Amino acid sequence: MSKVTINIDGKEVQAESGQTVLDTALANGIYIPHLCHHPELKPRGVCRLCLMEMADGELITACRMPVIAGMVVKTKTKKVDKAIRPTVELLIAYHHDTCRGCPAIGKCELQTVMSHLKIDRKRVRRLRPPPAKKPLDKMNSSFDYDPNRCVLCGVCINTCEDIHGVSLLYYVGRGHETKVAFYGDEKKCESCLECLARCPVGGLMLKKPVEVRH
């Protein structure tokens, strides 16, 4: 593997050829917002948050862009901000309005993205649809799914697919009613819990242990 040098936000960094720009940036302490990225998964490029501006002004997803020697990219330009801010704002508008009680508190990627972009909570509040909390889905005997917290990044689906060949989890429905669900396949789930471990937010959560009374 040969080394290449690229320029991210004015900083020269070294990368292995074949590495993606997103991985290179993260490894060098440059944060680029991302939700559907996971180091062990093939990049799918579905969340569109890792957009960066190329030298010619084109916006490209950093998670799917391999490094090229001498490339110059910028991740904090006006153009990038204009493209990703609305996406994040809408995600949050459709999300639980409080982090209280969320199992992902402290390791939530959405929180990181929010503070990185300094999201204006007041503005987001105006985008919020009327409060209609969707009920928690009881997925199987080991975990639950909270449609109010899921950001539909697909990481759980792709994780299950990569580990087991076919995914037991899939997107169901469309538009703002889309969610992730099993369909008659919940019994086949081996409860490896990899999907849960990789969820960037608090979409999947372990069932609370039921207290057995004697």
- The nearest distance, CB 154 to ligand FES, in angstroms, is 9
> How far is the CA of 133 from the CAs of 28, 86, 101, 123, in angstroms?
40, 22, 15, 20
N-to-C CA span, the chain:
62
What tokens were used for 71?
A: 């490339």
Q: Are 43 and 64 in contact (CB under 8 A)?
A: yes
Which of the ranges 4-12, 22-30, 136-144, 161-169 carries the binding residues for other proteins, by CB under 8 A?
Answer: 161-169
Amino acid at the residue 100 = R
Does position 167 interact with other proteins (CB under 8 A)? The reply is yes
Q: Which of residues 158-197 bind ligand SF4 (CB under 6 A)?
A: 159-160, 163-164, 168-169, 180, 189-195
- The nearest distance, CB 48 to ligand SF4, in angstroms, is 14
What tokens were used for 121?
A: 């909570």
Does position 170 interact with other proteins (CB under 8 A)? The reply is yes
Run of H or E residues at 169: strand 169-172
**Of ligand SF4, ligand FES, other proteins, none, which one sits near residue 110, judging by CB under 5 to 8 A according to partner kind?**
none
- The nearest distance, CB 151 to ligand FES, in angstroms, is 10
**Of other proteins, ligand FES, ligand SF4, none, which one sits near residue 27, judging by CB under 5 to 8 A according to partner kind?**
none
Q: Contacting other proteins (CB under 8 A), which of 69, 172, 197, 206?
A: 172
Residues that bind ligand FES (CB under 6 A): 34-37, 45-50, 61, 63
What tokens were used for 15?
A: 């990368």
**Comparison of 36 and 65: residue with beta carbon closer to ligand SF4:** 36
β-partners of residue 137 are: 145
What tokens were used for 90?
A: 């809408």
Q: Which residues contact 152 (CB under 8 A, 6 or more apart)?
A: 171, 178, 179, 180
Q: Contacting other proteins (CB under 8 A), which of 100, 184, 213, 214?
A: 184
Q: Are 12 and 5 in contact (CB under 8 A)?
A: yes
- List of residues contacting ligand SF4 (CB under 6 A): 150-156, 159-160, 163-164, 168-169, 180, 189-195, 199-201, 203-204
Interface positions with other proteins (CB under 8 A): 166-174, 181-185
